[in-house]
Structure 1
């Protein structure tokens, strides 16, 4: 019993002595560690507070520094951490302070290498394990013999301006162990890292990847070399084993590495492909046998890349997607990176030596060789059936989101230098051939389903021939047949078309229907994109992107379609039996032709300019069209006084129209300009409200229906206003002359002269059910002069002879100017439209 008590006392003493020692000497120990860090790191270190803990890392002591800031050698923020803990052995309480381990947690690490290879980080001041610190009376009695270093929950940023490598990510946990102060030692590494992105020379190579690291690395501080023996990296199910040596040099890195993997899936490999090249391939789900081997050797500097040799084999594979209809099985892929020696020192090349499989039950085979990645020479061959459902995965994120049907590819081959394929003038050096046949094809473009039920494309070097290619879209069903050149340069054209690529074509377009506004919308943003842009405040940038896309497409076209279309429409304007031509030049479309429309005929000659703002400028000759249909399909030209409900008659007209459209494809009325010469014969005005102001001179029946012989005049629409020069109207109710203007915001400014004597005489007579036209007389026994001014709802009618005569005189100048301009625009004489000669009084 006494022995038990003695043992208990001894244990209590052994525990109390360190606790008491920490209480008395913890402060000086912590201060000594901080001072030594400042001296040995040779940079500025700031600590908000520090203490010593006995229990947190028992049996070691822990010096805990909080809110630590360490400046880099260039003055940048190298390290910021909520906690930096230095672990000491127990002997530090009674003798020399010795730091064995460092733990850094909850902060950020910012590593920088400048263009000359200088870094903002340097680890100095370590004492090799088992060695003593050299005598220095001015130094603190503290040893740094660190065998372990750990990071937890740290954001990391690495910027290497020399190699143009930029990395951002986070360290979940990362540990290093070894004799860091020795000339040579074995460095053990273990950790989990999330890489947000890794860019090199502006190309994103890794994006949102989680990596698990485990390594044994031989560090040779004398030769400044690192030998992986090995480095194991895991991402998903892919396990990579890397062995070899890295040697930092003044200009970058000297590499001699070998990479191997026999586990994982193809989708894990795709996840390592730069996102700009992978597109939607990252969505693919794969199964199959994977084997990956490779090597990296040579200098990696700002001007040089190491040699890459490697092979990827994927066999007995299946590929699917939760969103895209890929459905590939029995897939066999063999791809190789090869460094080919040559007279100029060798070139890096890439090849898909074999890609075969069944795509939705249909066989497909392809080979691709790209020799010299710096100046690529491309050889491509393909045969088989390609499902359009796979298109979104191939071309990446964009307006095409789904597909159905097949492209049947036969003996497709393309061979030549990539630089020659970019430039139309050099396409003669490129060999190409083969055919593509569409079979029940369908894609979803900007939320619209577009069908390609049939058609064949033949490729003969730089010439393409399209035969009976059927296109069906919203309101459109047409077929193309014709020839074109420069297809390949157009497909490879960049967003600025810097190589002036143009698809030069001569073709026939026939079809049952052609919906112009729906086709224009195909290039425009979807409703979902507009809603998202509005929510994010990016509407302007979305519109700019849409305009740029439309400009690029039209910038690539030069040629002519001879067109025959049974039905067409643009907004509310409808026509039938169009016969004419569609002539494309960069950013411009010219339309000429004849069509049945509005119960008559239209002759059209106009241009559409696809520039920053869509602009339409055209000449239209209307022959015997229905006035009511003209007003209805023209949406009453922005005014509400004389509408399609009020007018009947046959109309001939010469119209010149110039208008711009907003990014939302709506007419910009502020910029609308129209010149018109109009002749409406044998017409009627029905329920024309303005006549109610002359009820004193008209019968009640005359207010409902008014027949007239002709409305003939020249008009102009500009500055959101319709201008009406002086014209004479001979009707069944009265003879009158009118001029004035009518704004799109419904402000009236009319000047009217009424043959009141004739009107009153007519009112005394019995109402004429046949609505016989009154004799043509501009002047009666007496005349009345009125102005009609003000907003549509509250306009006022006043008697003002002088104002009426003045406006009549001014308007004659406008009439003659409009006539001359129309004459120049139509390149034909256009006479003034005069009313019938005045009827003589009967004796």
Structure 2
């Protein structure tokens, strides 16, 4: 056989075939162009009951050679209702291809469809009407040749599918960059094979968004019976992040909407599963990754109706897997989990069940195991347990908490809990929530993100008893302050779980040192010049039995502090607090009422015993004046003080609110280099008034209306005997009266002093003087006979009246907080 002749024949026939096909295609295009367009449109109008708008129609034999292409540019198909809204289908271009040989035979079977930049908008309104009911019922009696649908290829490019079901509050949005499908129709039965990329923009159900912005690859095998309204999903695969999900099931909607769907994850991982869930649920975990066997399966089965919805069951878990965050070296190894989520009614997903069993793992060589059962997310019933040892540094490296910057130390926990969470909100039912177990703390430290002080070196035992927590030898430091607690935290679980829940604390507090400056500064005020902000939580009920070795507050540094502190309804009260300070001892009763807006009302009474006078002035920063300072004073003071005053929440005193009675005795007192006394030497016979020593001084002082009332008192000193009385205002205006013996008249002008000299009952000559002005600019003048007696009596009378008024006021406005056993933790049943 001549090979060359054979090759030539083959080439000839191939060329001939091509020529025939090309010729047939060209001829069919030109000969049947108008017939093809007319026939296609006519048959389409017979099948569709909604208008189709096309900007341009063209026929080409070269565009999809060797097939004839019927091209629609600017396609707009109206929906079956509400024609004025968005179209059912809008596309930049749709190509239909036909076999040219078949066209010669008047067989207008569509072989392939190409859709470019299409937008399908399917929807169901609130009345259940659909916008995609666009096909007419076929006329079985007609013998007219129709367009047959036997599509070997459907290509979608840059096409979006959007489905909105306003009746069920469902919104689906998909885009495919490139997807190829095959459609075969026999009567009303359609077989569809599809494969390609699909971008899931979002899946929204009841305003909850799932699988947002996910890139997937789909291999779908579908069978749809339009007469029975039945969609059968044959085994298909959806690939997400290299994880395959096998999908199979049915969807029927002839008379009722019935769905039965199975999804089974293969070779998946935790990151893929989390990416499908709503971001709001998993935002704290969406960066975590896994290695090992992670499984997932879902079954959706039931009726989708106005009052019914399908049941969803999800099974998931880990088998000897590894969980880790890509930014940290800490891992959970040998992780095990068996999980089930059951939603019996998707219309009410809150009434679902989450069951996590056999939770096991190892974190940094520490084992833990747990179980958790949760029913009804709206009013939860929970049951669970936890057992294991955790290293906090590893935990917070594995889980990045926004509220905790760092942690260290270990805790060993053994916990069991069960009950309705809502029962924790009421005292009458809180006992129904059962919590047992204990936590051992070992050198635990925490640095919070929004609190400047570090909780450090905490050790001790926490014992749970239902809703309460017992503290046994819990010690540690908060900033510079140390503590040792033994007592109870009542309602602690509700306080941790819910906002605005109360907590009751009954405990013994033992401390070597408390830095009150630092603790108050940890809650700074809103004003830029404020160092402190003092508040009392309305939900705090507290009873402390305090034993503190030393405390620091500004210049105040008491020691050996012992007593009770009770807090309730934003009121703090102490009874018989005793401490040593300023060279002596102090016994204090008092109440701080923080229930007013940005105000603190203080009522107190205290007794000073053997306190250094100069220390008082030093500690209280000379009471913000420089007239009489600690450097001028010496001696020991005993005093009984009653006072009421009002502060801002930044601990700024409102001076006009201060009212006080002070009964005082000063022993072994000294007044040194006090300028007003030195000026008196001009009028008196004495030259040593810069150093006065007196054995004992008694007086009752009253403070009110920004004035210090000093009734007349006699000061017997090493130099002379002087009687002093007067008024000193808070803005440093002074009006003092001084009566002193005059042994010689050489230093005075007799005419000028006339009326200011008088003999007393013992026959001594007494000189009456007054010191008036303000502390920076004052005068020493003669006090004339015509005014001296009236002024002295007026001062005594006014001071006595104010003192009596204060005593009555104090009895009415300072009731004690009375707390009986258990009663002070009655937080109500609201």
Normalised-by-shorter TM-score class = 0.5 to 0.7
Match of 1:715 in 2: 703
Match of 2:354 in 1: 350
For structure 1, the residue ranges without an aligned partner over 5 or more in a row are 1-6, 136-142, 342-346, 535-542, 743-747, 766-774, 830-843
Match of 1:659 in 2: 647
Q: Matched residues in 1 for 2:759 and 2:411: separation?
A: 71
Q: Matched residues in 1 for 2:397 and 2:313: separation?
A: 27
Other structure's SS at 2:455 match: strand
How large is the Cα RMSD of the aligned pairs?
6.5
Q: Matched residues in 2 for 1:262 and 1:79: separation?
A: 39
1:627 to 1:559, Cα distance in 2 relative to 1, 3 A:
same
1:264 to 1:754, Cα distance in 2 relative to 1, 3 A:
same
Match of 2:390 in 1: 386
1:470 aligns with 2:475: yes
Q: Matched residues in 2 for 1:112 and 1:683: separation?
A: 96
Other structure's SS at 2:513 match: strand
Shift of 1:331: 1.7
For structure 2, the residue ranges without an aligned partner over 5 or more in a row are 1-15, 346-350, 749-757, 815-830
Other structure's SS at 2:661 match: strand
**Residues 547, 560 of structure 2: 8 Å contact kept:** yes
Shift of 1:716: 4.0
Q: Matched residues in 2 for 1:730 and 1:244: separation?
A: 106
Q: Matched residues in 2 for 1:669 and 1:250: separation?
A: 78
Question: Aligned residue pairs: how many?
Answer: 726
Match of 2:418 in 1: 415
Q: Deviations over 1:130-150 (max 9, x none)?
A: xx9x99xxxxxxx9x998685
Q: Deviations over 1:398-446 (max 9, x none)?
A: 5234322222123x32233444455442344444432221122222223
**Residues 673, 690 of structure 2: 8 Å contact kept:** yes
Q: Matched residues in 2 for 1:124 and 1:828: separation?
A: 82
**Residues 645, 653 of structure 2: 8 Å contact kept:** no
Match of 1:835 in 2: none
1:752 aligns with 2:756: no
Other structure's SS at 1:280 match: coil
Q: Matched residues in 2 for 1:305 and 1:465: separation?
A: 47
Q: Which stretch has the larger CA shift, 424-433 or 574-583?
A: 424-433
1:438 aligns with 2:424: no
Shift of 1:361: 0.8
Other structure's SS at 1:295 match: strand
Superposition pairs for residues 436-835 of structure 1, below 5 Å? 436-446=439-449, 447=451, 448-451=453-456, 453-461=458-466, 464-483=469-488, 485-492=490-497, 494-497=498-501, 502-504=502-504, 506-516=506-516, 518-519=518-519, 555=539, 557-570=540-553, 573-585=556-568, 587-592=570-575, 593-600=577-584, 601-607=586-592, 609=594, 613=598, 615=600, 617-621=602-606, 623-624=608-609, 625-626=611-612, 629-630=615-616, 633-634=619-620, 639-641=624-626, 648=633, 652=639, 653-661=641-649, 666-667=650-651, 673-678=657-662, 679=664, 681=666, 682=669, 684=671, 713-716=701-704, 722-725=706-709, 738-739=726-727, 741-742=729-730, 748=731, 750-753=733-736, 781=767, 783=769, 786-788=772-774, 816-817=801-802, 820-822=805-807, 824-825=809-810
Shift of 1:358: 1.6
**Residues 323, 333 of structure 2: 8 Å contact kept:** yes
Shift of 1:468: 0.9
Superposition pairs for residues 117-516 of structure 1, below 5 Å? 117=128, 122=132, 124=134, 152=158, 162-164=167-169, 171=175, 173=177, 184-185=189-190, 186=192, 188=194, 190-193=196-199, 195=201, 215-230=220-235, 232-247=237-252, 254-274=258-278, 277-278=281-282, 280-299=284-303, 304-321=308-325, 327-337=331-341, 348-370=352-374, 377-389=381-393, 398-410=402-414, 412-420=415-423, 423-446=426-449, 447=451, 448-451=453-456, 453-461=458-466, 464-483=469-488, 485-492=490-497, 494-497=498-501, 502-504=502-504, 506-516=506-516
Q: Deviations over 1:794-822 (max 9, x none)?
A: x8999999999999969975874465335
Q: Matched residues in 1 for 2:796 and 2:397: separation?
A: 64
**Residues 683, 710 of structure 1: 8 Å contact kept:** no
Q: Matched residues in 1 for 2:683 and 2:496: separation?
A: 72
Shift of 1:103: 3.6
Q: Deviations over 1:231-254 (max 9, x none)?
A: 644444543333223456999x64
**Residues 621, 654 of structure 1: 8 Å contact kept:** yes
Other structure's SS at 1:425 match: helix
Q: Matched residues in 2 for 1:756 and 1:469: separation?
A: 62
1:445 to 1:303, Cα distance in 2 relative to 1, 3 A:
farther
Q: Matched residues in 2 for 1:172 and 1:703: separation?
A: 102
Shift of 1:603: 0.9
1:702 to 1:79, Cα distance in 2 relative to 1, 3 A:
farther
Shift of 1:190: 4.1
1:456 to 1:730, Cα distance in 2 relative to 1, 3 A:
same
Shift of 1:364: 1.2
Shift of 1:676: 2.7
1:86 aligns with 2:93: yes
Q: Matched residues in 2 for 1:192 and 1:704: separation?
A: 98
Q: Matched residues in 1 for 2:201 and 2:276: separation?
A: 11
Calculate the TM-score normalised by the size of structure 1: 0.66
Other structure's SS at 2:810 match: helix
**Residues 280, 394 of structure 1: 8 Å contact kept:** no
Q: Matched residues in 1 for 2:780 and 2:689: separation?
A: 20
Shift of 1:76: 9.5
**Residues 459, 475 of structure 2: 8 Å contact kept:** yes
Calculate the TM-score normalised by the size of structure 2: 0.66
Q: Matched residues in 2 for 1:112 and 1:192: separation?
A: 20
Q: Matched residues in 1 for 2:200 and 2:779: separation?
A: 79
**Residues 482, 507 of structure 1: 8 Å contact kept:** yes
Shift of 1:261: 1.2
